[in-house]
Amino acid sequence: MRQKASTVVTMADVARSAGVSTMTVSNVINGRPRVGAETKERVLAAIGELGYQVNLAARHLRAGRTGVVGLAVPELENPYFAQLAGRLADRFEAHDLRVVVERTGASREGEMEAVAFSRLRMYDGLILSVVDIDPAELGQLRTDAPVVLIGERALPSRFDHVMMDNVDGARQATAHLLATGARRVAMLGGEPDGAANMPALRAEGYALAHAEAGVPVDPRLNIRSSFRLQDGYEGIRALLDRGIGFDAVFALNDVVAMGALRALADAGLRVPADVQVIGFDDIDEAAYLVPALSTVSPGHAEMADRITALLTAQITDGPTGEPQEIVVPARLVHRATTTPLS
């Protein structure tokens, strides 16, 4: 008979019920091969009958670990971060680690707290998406927790860092539009302030492609915005309402591009016949839009692989020497919203 829920069932209880040693029960639970089929079946039957549950937390703490990795990202609504979390969860699961996601709000305070309190939250390691924190402050943080940074800009610090190639990815996107005949490429989400953040880096690639093609940039085509669907929609509406002509759109992320596509459709403009559109990030939804969105893939699989390898190495082996800075190459993904090269 199954024991009452209030009774704590131990491994010793399972061993007595199955008529085996506690070591045999441990071998069955951990999937070790040195248990015969009949004995294994008897142990599993006892586990089911008694309602025994493995205390994974205690197991990890005895090994000096909690089995949890923190992922601190600016926001949870953006599909890019949701899909990144899913990829990382799959990879860390293979290392017997679970991923817990927290939001920093893209603020300096949120990012500083994520690092400073990572041990108090009982993380074995932390992945931090850096947006607003000052590089000097980052280097001065005192933590012995394994940390891997992800983000858009080079950050001289003592932490490993994996980042996408924002400049070249944006250059590829804009160069594709120019190579297919566009001459007035609107940029949605541009940031001309000079800070080395994602908008500035992608704006740099946009300007670089124009310089390489010998095509001047009309500053009126640089529409500053946030990165929500409505920002893409409102950016296109602003250009149309002001009578500023454009024949292509480079949106600094796919979500903004999706908003732009709706605004163009509402205005009766055909994509790509009247206006070409390209995004950045290659989120899963991009391939299923009508028309399917051309975009830039930042190398999702390689980024997740590199982040996982760096953090698990730190967790297992401790500090690995000089911090590594890894830039994952970007790749143009041509779909139906841009004209193919002839």
- Per-residue model confidence as pLDDT tens for the chain (342 residues): 444 445 678 889 999 999 999 889 888 876 677 788 889 889 888 888 888 876 655 555 555 678 899 999 999 989 999 999 999 999 999 998 999 999 998 888 888 888 777 765 678 999 999 887 777 777 666 677 899 999 877 676 788 999 999 999 999 999 999 999 999 999 998 665 556 788 999 999 999 999 999 999 999 999 998 899 999 999 999 999 999 999 999 999 999 999 999 999 999 999 999 999 999 999 999 999 999 999 999 999 999 999 999 999 999 988 767 889 999 999 999 999 999 987
Residue with tokens 């492609």: 209
Full-model pTM? 0.80
H helical segments located in the chain:
11-18, 22-29, 37-50, 56-62, 79-93, 108-116, 135-140, 166-179, 198-213, 229-242, 254-266, 300-317
Residue in the structure block whose two tokens are 């205690």: 58
DSSP H or E run through 332: strand 331-333
CB 253 within 8 A of CB 80: yes
Phi and psi at residue 251, to the nearest 5°: -95, 135
